[in-house]
Structure 1
Amino acid sequence: MEFAPKQDQSKNPVLIPVDGPIQRTQYPYVTGTSVVAIKYKDGILMAADMGGSYGSTLRYKSVERIKPIGKHSLLGGSGEISDFQEILRYLDELILNDNMWDDGNSLGPKEVHSYLTRVMYNRRNKFDPLWNSLVLGGVKKGQKYLGMVTMIGVNFEDNHVATGFGNHLARPILRDEWHEDISFEDGVKLLEKCMRVLLYRDRSAVNKIQISKLTEEGVTPFPPYSLKTYWGFSSFHNPTVGAEGSW
């Protein structure tokens, strides 16, 4: 960037950019859709599909949006992929600094979630938000933790959380079928059911998902796989029948 001197009223030279003020991107380009997570009997289960949308085009089909954080946490992100990568860079620095203390202690999921809420709210106040909704789950000293934070810093904890369309389409299913002592197998089936509904109803979802498990022993990411689907339902053949004024 070129700079040119400009004289102010006090005759002191001031450097300003020739091509105008600094511009920041305020619109997401490549985005991922919903993340769904639950507490189960032994820890945390988290699921997300692997689609990356360039606008309304499903451009990428193998985007991982679930990442382990430190020893005790698991992070899932929806929204702008490059902003999610920036958040992962922040967390890498946080975990590295924590390890450098070498005091036998390590950041738990509650501390990481608190840090993320401050980061998101801080960037929102600068009118330069990180365009993501985040799910943070973890297990430390036998205590399970699951929370989420939005791009403007709104955050909460719950036994099951979801971002994007999952907040509207998956959480009603979770409220009906989730229970505190749900097993690993039943938890996976419940997440698959949620992801299948999202695939049917969310145009940005793809039929390739990844599920990760977090227990006291650590993170276990399972290989991506495709869901079995059925598109023969009568409502799929003519979805706008009876909808007055639709195409």
Structure 2
Amino acid sequence: MEKMTLQDSNQPNNSPLLNSEADSQRTLYPYVTGTSVIALKYKDGILMAADMGGSYGSTLRYKCVERIKPIGKHSLLGASGELSDFQELLRYLDELILYDNMWDDGNSLGPKEVHNYLTRVMYNRRNKFNPLWNSLVLGGVKNGHKYLGMVSMIGVNFEDNHVATGFGNHLARPILRDEWHENLSFEDGVKLLEKCMRVLLYRDRSAVNKLQIAKITEEGFTISQPYSLKTFWGFSAFQNPTVGAEGSW
């Protein structure tokens, strides 16, 4: 009878069952995340705003993260959530735009097509229990038609005149509902976005006072250099926030 020998402990174990966890490439938890993205339609196109903070848990670790990117000729994409998953999505979109350009038929993907593609990607990954941990805002202009939509990490999506992700969905949307109108000028649109971003800066611990505003029209897109908002921290509620709060520390 052949003698059974123990495997040398120094030899690598190639069992797929034992190595499956080590080889996993999926995002199990969001680690470095970005907060709200806000976008709206204005008279000539789309405006989008996002700050440049990247939080490692509850620590504001990075303050120079760009979360608004151009997609093809007609679209802008803004993302909240896990930044590595956002980078993965950008790789998907680079392949999509490259494949579209290879046809060389004089046509190019518009914002509606890109938004539909993103909804399918997010829903597909959710069904595989391997979601991309992002909320996305997609806006653009093609053939004079303005388009603005969002999609969540599980594929929930809609189109609207103004959208927001994260805390912006709770704090900025009421402001947008009150003050947005269809003939909003570029200057008024920027002021409205800055007002929303200032409220988020006051109330969202993950927000930083360093933001970018991007616009896209029929002529193309522009993404501003990072800049800071003027703020005022002398409000009495900021000086002693627990006054009158029963049961607070």
Task: Classify the TM-score, shorter chain.
Answer: over 0.9
Q: Is the 8 A contact 2:39 2:164 kept in 1?
A: yes
Aligned pair 1:3/2:21, yes or no? Answer: no
Deviation at 1:26, TM superposition (A): 1.4
- Name the structure 2 match of 1:118: 120
Aligned residues with identical type, % of pairs:
84
Note the residue ranges of structure 2 that are not aligned, 5 or more in a row. Answer: 1-11
Q: Tell me which of 84, 89, 110 is aligned to 1:108.
A: 110
Secondary structure in 1 matching 2:77: strand
- Name the structure 2 match of 1:54: 56
- Name the structure 2 match of 1:18: 18
Deviation at 1:19, TM superposition (A): 3.8
Amino acid at match of 1:18: L
Matches within 5 A, 1:228-247: 228-247=230-249
Q: Tell me which of 178, 191, 194 is aligned to 1:192.
A: 194
Q: Is the 8 A contact 1:2 1:17 kept in 2?
A: no
Secondary structure in 2 matching 1:151: coil
Deviation at 1:151, TM superposition (A): 0.2
- Name the structure 1 match of 2:207: 205
- TM-score, normalising length from structure 1? 0.93
Matches within 5 A, 1:88-99: 88-99=90-101
- Name the structure 2 match of 1:156: 158
| Number of equivalences | 236
Q: Which runs of 4+ in 1 moved over 2 A?
A: 16-25
Secondary structure in 1 matching 2:55: strand
Secondary structure in 1 matching 2:108: coil
Matches within 5 A, 1:18-37: 18-21=18-21, 23=24, 24-37=26-39
The Cα offsets for residues 118-170 of structure 1, whole Å up to 9 and x where unpaired, read as 00000000101000000000000000000000000000000000000000000
Q: Distance in 2 between matches of 1:202 and 1:101?
A: 45
Deviation at 1:20, TM superposition (A): 4.9
Deviation at 1:18, TM superposition (A): 3.1
Pair 190,19 (structure 1): closer, same or farther in 2 beyond 3 Å = same
Q: Is the 8 A contact 2:27 2:132 kept in 1?
A: no
Q: Distance in 1 between matches of 2:29 and 2:196?
A: 28
The Cα offsets for residues 149-195 of structure 1, whole Å up to 9 and x where unpaired, read as 00000000000000000000000000000000000000000000000
Matches within 5 A, 1:215-226: 215-226=217-228
Q: Is the 8 A contact 1:76 1:134 kept in 2?
A: yes
- TM-score, normalising length from structure 2? 0.93
Note the residue ranges of structure 1 that are not aligned, 5 or more in a row. Answer: 5-15
Q: Distance in 2 between matches of 1:184 and 1:25?
A: 38
Q: Distance in 2 between matches of 1:19 and 1:65?
A: 34
Q: Distance in 2 between matches of 1:35 and 1:118?
A: 21
- Name the structure 1 match of 2:9: none
Secondary structure in 2 matching 1:116: helix
Matches within 5 A, 1:127-146: 127-146=129-148
Q: Distance in 1 between matches of 2:124 and 2:100?
A: 21
Deviation at 1:2, TM superposition (A): 3.5
Q: Is the 8 A contact 1:207 1:227 kept in 2?
A: yes
Q: Is the 8 A contact 2:69 2:76 kept in 1?
A: yes
Deviation at 1:84, TM superposition (A): 0.3
Aligned pair 1:83/2:81, yes or no? Answer: no
RMSD of the alignment, in Å?
1.1
Deviation at 1:245, TM superposition (A): 1.0
Amino acid at match of 2:45: G
